[in-house]
Structures are given as structure tokens and as C-alpha cells.
């Protein structure tokens, strides 16, 4: 399973990384929503790999070249988008995934249309929030999780205290660009995780983050950002 694929220029790098693991097929390809920093590189992924099921929020469209490239790549391989609904579950080996949120009714709110996935492996629970904001967090109840992919890059639009009080993550992973112009992650969000005792990892400081689930424990390894970028 691959959730999102970064900006356009990230597509080749992501493809090379996946191939380095000997992977030739992606069983589930999930674009959480249509913003470029989440699906910009996805056209390249579809071109380079055998693809099984593809999930994208419905009613989300764009005239951007990266989106048109993705749709062209999907069509060229005779693939189709699979409509995804809340409560949908699927299995990948010993991993069980469930769609916890997706909104097909808000075409003007791509962030809140985000496909949110909870992944369970043995004793550990993972929650991938896309760019979902407080509106999504408040729309349902949530379970405890061990690992949270923090919503909306650590923006104050997401990770409300009420939400965090429900999920109580031991590990919080923030995907965020180094020196980004938005000032992310926000200090107030970092403080919330720190006060909860969550261990924070962030790509702008830690570089590439490898999480290895060994069943009894979770091991985190980081690869610092190189000087040449």
C-alpha cells in the first residue's frame, strides 16, 4: 500500500525507493486528496508499477497537469478508480485497514475530503490523517492508536486537543518541508504532543523516517537530510 506520493518532482524518487525493496506491484494506491503535495508524483507511480486498487475521493477534480497526468496514466493501463466509503475494510497480508473518513460531498474542501486510513498490525494501530482538519476529527469517535501520521503537516487546523485525547498516540510523525513558508509544524501543535508524552518525528529535521514494526515493538530509524538536498 502506498498512501500519497508527494509533489511532481518527488515521483521518481519515491518510485526508486519502492523498487529498491524489490516491490513491483502496489496492491492499494491511495491518494488522500487532490493537492499536489499529496498526489503530484502519483502519475509517475502508476506509470512505473503494476497497480491493484486505486482510491481517490470522488467529486474532487483539478485542471492541474499533475492531476491530468495521473488520470491519463490510469486510463492508459486500463485501470479504474474504486469508490471508497467510510467503514470499508481491506486486507494486505497480515495487515487490516479501515477507511475512517472520506467526504465526497465537499468539492471545495479538498483537505476535509481526505481519505483517512487506520491500519492494524498485530498489537499496533496506525492512523494516517491526510490533510483532514478539525471538522473531520469532530465528526466521529476515534480509537487509541500507537502511531499517528499527523494531519495537515502539523497545522493548527488539525490535531485538536479533543481528538488527541481520544487517540493518545505514542508516536507522532509529521511530514513537513524544511523551511516551509507556512511555519509548519505550529508550536501549539508540537506542545500538545509533547504534553501527551508522544514521541515526535518530523521530516524537516529527521529526514527520511523508517518505521519497522517488529510485532512486540516498533523501531524508528531516521536518515538525515543530505547537504545537497
The whole model's pTM is what? 0.95
Q: What is the residue range of 143's domain?
A: 122-229
Over residues 54-65, the pLDDT tens digits come to 999 877 788 999
> What is the pLDDT, as a whole number, of residue 226?
66
* Same domain (yes/no): 67, 10: yes
* Same domain (yes/no): 72, 12: yes
- 10 within a domain of the structure (yes/no): yes
* Same domain (yes/no): 137, 224: yes
**Average pLDDT, stretch 64-75?**
97
Over residues 91-109, the pLDDT tens digits come to 999 999 999 999 888 778 9
16 touches 103 (CB < 8 A)? no
Domain edge (last residue) among 38, 60, 86: 86
- 79 within a domain of the structure (yes/no): yes
- 138 within a domain of the structure (yes/no): yes
Beta pairing, strands 25-30 & 2-3: parallel
* Same domain (yes/no): 81, 34: yes
| Cell numbers linked to 157 | 487546523
Q: Which CATH number characterizes residue 212's domain? A: 3.40.50
Structural domain total, the chain = 2
Q: How many C-beta atoms lie closer than 10 Å to residue 53's C-beta?
A: 16
Banded pLDDT at 25 (limits 50, 70, 90): very high
> What is the pLDDT, as a whole number, of residue 108?
82
Amino acid at each position: 500500500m502506498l498512501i500519497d506520493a508527494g509533489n511532481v518532482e518527488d515521483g521518481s524518487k519515491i518510485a526508486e525507493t519502492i523498487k529498491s525493496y524489490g516491490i513491483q506491484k502496489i496492491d492499494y494506491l491511495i491518494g488522500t486528496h487532490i493537492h499536489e503535495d499529496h498526489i503530484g508524483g502519483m502519475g509517475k507511480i502508476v506509470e512505473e508499477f503494476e497497480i491493484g486498487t486505486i482510491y481517490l475521493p470522488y467529486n474532487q477534480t483539478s485542471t492541474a497537469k499533475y492531476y491530468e497526468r495521473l488520470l491519463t496514466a490510469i486510463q492508459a493501463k486500463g485501470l479504474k478508480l474504486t469508490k471508497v466509503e467510510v467503514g470499508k475494510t481491506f486486507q494486505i497480508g497480515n495487515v487490516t485497514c479501515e477507511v475512517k473518513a472520506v467526504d465526497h460531498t465537499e468539492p471545495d474542501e479538498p483537505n476535509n475530503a481526505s481519505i483517512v486510513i487506520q491500519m492494524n498490525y498485530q498489537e499496533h494501530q496506525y492512523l494516517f490523517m491526510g490533510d483532514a482538519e478539525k471538522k473531520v476529527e469532530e465528526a466521529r469517535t476515534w480509537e487509541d492508536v500507537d502511531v499517528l501520521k499527523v494531519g495537515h503537516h502539523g497545522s493548527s487546523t488539525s490535531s485538536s486537543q479533543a481528538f488527541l485525547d481520544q487517540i493518545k498516540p505514542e508516536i507522532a510523525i509529521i511530514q513537513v518541508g524544511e523551511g516551509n513558508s507556512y511555519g509548519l509544524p505550529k508550536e501549539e501543535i508540537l506542545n500538545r504532543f509533547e504534553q501527551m508524552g508522544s514521541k515526535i518525528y518530523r521530516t524537516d529535521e529527521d529526514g527520511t523516517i523508517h518505521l519497522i514494526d517488529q510485532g512486540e515493538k516498533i523501531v524508528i530509524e531516521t536518515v538525515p537530510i543530505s547537504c545537497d538536498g
